[in-house]
Structure 1
């Protein structure tokens, strides 16, 4: 899987992404029949995920190739948010659409220079136009072809495996990472479980169930 915003590839994949799709249906009551459902049009789709921009590239969790500095990613996304629509592509999924950036929250919380962020998108419906333009920021690479256009490349993308782990007394994210992944780098585990752990990676609790990326 890869995630692209225009021609910028997200350097560290999130452990998951959320898609919300709803239908604008209505209910009416008809005498002699009762309540009936009238099918409406599809509402705009939303997509959201969380991850981090690393200060230094680490091959154990970063995409292949060079990466930008964290604040370069932040600046590029802020410009996308202000200037118009963004082409969002998640390879290996049906998500390939023009959208707007609805929210982008980011910050540094561990003193390493890595920037953690959460971002959400809403599908853009271009009414009355035959083509939609995609803003270019000039910092990234060529966006990937549509799924199926390059079968050889698609077959070479490795799958990321995960496992679950229950926190025990005396555990830290560093000790868990070293035991289960062979590396003391705890940040991918924290990113994948931030909703469970909370804002402080040093405060894990006995009994918490963690997802271990690459485990």
Structure 2
């Protein structure tokens, strides 16, 4: 049975991803920073809750130790935890806070879980990125990504997509890809996106369930691979 660990999974895309993967037969470890909300979400879904704050070394280490004690390994790591930052803000504080979660947090979590991933016959990492970090999308006036002004968030997702391609080269024994959920109705955008949360998780779920033999270092949306 495939064991999948998802960060930031107590709501939104992470929660729906957990629900769908449980439905497909995965054993899901629901990671969240807030212990009360995380435990409640896991109980509602039938997942196991593991507390993790991706900005804290000790918290991530404790999560790894918890999983090593109970499951012994993971097959799929989904780096979903992320924050949007403040609309229009170009402040150093906003940039630092967003990058610490959306980029450094992914590195911290991935590096810590590598030993458990390498015990899998088919280790997979899925980084939840965004088209808002795509140069092509943000320069296309017909796309909603071109209208948003989130300097820290968009920069973090551009960095995360590039980080994914670099990780794929640096760690050829693990399949590592990035998913673009698309403009999805979640708390991030006041539920204004035209896609449902299920549609928004299509690419994430596809990458988590596609099986051996697929490529690494790809940027994928629900309709297929896309350019950066």
TM-score range, shorter chain: under 0.3
- Which structure has more relative contact order (CA 8 Å, sep 6+)? It is 1
Which has the larger share of helix?
2
TM-score scaled by structure 1?
Answer: 0.27
Which has the larger share of strand?
1
TM-score scaled by structure 2?
Answer: 0.26
